[in-house]
Amino acid sequence: AAGGGGARGVVLSAPQAGVASEILVREGQSVSAGTPLMRLNDPAVLWLEAAIPQADAGLLVAGTPVQASVDALPGERFEGTLDALLPQVDPASRTQRARIVLRNPQGRLAPGMFAQVRIESRGTRPLPLVPNEALIATGDDSRVIVRAADGSFVPVRVRTGRSSEGRTEVLAGLAGGEQVVVSGQFLIDSEASLTGALQRLAAPAPAADAQP
């Protein structure tokens, strides 16, 4: 009888480099050609799923640049692109799911992390951003205190948009490039209102129409 040899190991090569995220077979299990053995992930490129407000989803197209940040790595930004808007809408939050391809060349990101994303929609002009503390809420309106060319300070009514990372979009009221006050604006606003009231009181009264 021929002597039996010991078990021999077989080296299997994957078609691409990656990290084994899941083993699909057990030790000693018999497998045949085509049986999946493990699942590989490429850590240099990750998929990120984001919830996009429906009002913004219509402005986005595949290939739009994306920046992402995670709380675990403060100050770092990761570049990516919008891969697809998925046909799934959450009726509770009124958001649509988007799939983003995120570059991770140094392997700093890990699956399961939560991220905040910034997407610049194509075909729209960039909007001015002001610090949240520069806004003065006045009923249904908002104002900012702008430094004029002569050095004076003027309250300007603005229409605001979305807020993120301590800054708010200004949809109307500012052109961009203005200097706004972020500290003590309530005192300046009160002084400007008082000055305007005194000027109105000091103005001569209009002459009354003569009566026949």
**13 falls within a domain:** no
**34 falls within a domain:** no
Q: Give dist(CA 22, CA 42) in Å, integer.
A: 13
**Do residues 168 and 177 make contact, with C-beta atoms less than 8 angstroms apart?**
no
pLDDT digits (tens), the chain, 212 positions = 444 555 567 787 877 777 777 788 888 888 888 888 888 777 788 889 999 887 777 777 888 899 999 988 988 999 999 999 888 888 888 889 999 999 988 888 888 889 999 887 655 566 788 888 888 887 778 888 888 888 788 888 888 877 777 888 888 888 888 888 887 655 555 555 545 443 443 445 444 343 44
Number of other residues whose CB lies within 10 A of the CB of residue 186: 11
**7 falls within a domain:** no
Question: Is 138 in the same domain as 96?
Answer: no
- Domain containing residue 91: CATH number: 2.40.30.170
Q: Among residues 72, 94, 119, which one ends one of the domains?
A: 119
Q: Give dist(CA 193, CA 154) in Å, integer.
A: 10
Q: Look at the pTM and tell me if it is higher than 0.85.
A: no
Q: Among residues 67, 86, 119, which one ends one of the domains?
A: 119
Question: Is 60 in the same domain as 94?
Answer: yes
Structural domain boundaries enclosing 150:
129-201
Of the candidates 133, 130, 132, the residue with the CA atom closest to the CA atom of residue 185: 133
**Do residues 132 and 168 make contact, with C-beta atoms less than 8 angstroms apart?**
yes
Q: In which element (H, E) is residue 98 found?
A: strand 95-103
Q: Give dist(CA 143, CA 139) in Å, integer.
A: 10
Total domains in the fold of the chain: 2
- Domain containing residue 140: CATH number: 2.40.420.20
Question: Is 49 in the same domain as 80?
Answer: yes
